[in-house]
Amino acid sequence: MTNWIETITGSFEQKKQYKQHKARLDALPEPYAAAAKALQRYILHHGSITDGATLVAMMGDFVDLWERAAVDGTPVREIVGKDPVEFVETFAEAYGGKRWIDKERARLVKAIDDAERQQR
């Protein structure tokens, strides 16, 4: 029964790990918590990673980065640089994994290939 449910909803272990990472993120001191939460929100909207294992690994590394920065007192701007969008997109891209856009890219390529075949 568990395997069937996990097939539909995803791995319970991965959900548990993700919630642990989220709790660590919530426990960060300010201003690290605010910055990390804003970046995490962007990752989830932009990254659209569909593979649970990849997402859990990425979030674990992400929280590790912010916890270390908080302990060391590293300024937020020193972490993200001049362009926080570039920082977070580069960070997310390092974690390949399947993304929602991959399906749309394949669909687009197929549509163009089909259209080309119809012109022959």
Residue found by looking up tokens 């995803």 in the block: 10
pLDDT of 50 reads 67
Residue-wise over 3-37: b if at least 16 C-beta within 10 A, else e?
eeeeeeeeeeebeebbeebeebbeebeeebeebbe
- Asked if residue 18 lies in contact with residue 56, where contact means CB atoms within 8 angstroms, the answer is yes
- Asked if residue 91 lies in contact with residue 62, where contact means CB atoms within 8 angstroms, the answer is yes
pLDDT of 98 reads 65
Tell me which residues of the chain have a pLDDT lower than 50: none
Tokens matching residue 109: 């390529």
d(CA 118, CA 120): 6
pLDDT of 85 reads 92
Domain boundaries, given as residue ranges, for the chain: 2-119
Q: What is the pLDDT of residues 89-114, one digit of tens each?
A: 889 888 876 666 777 888 888 999 88
Q: For residue 21, what are the contacts with CB-CB under 8 A and spacing of at least 6? A: 56, 59, 60, 62, 63
Put simply, whether the predicted model's pTM sits higher than 0.95 gets the answer no
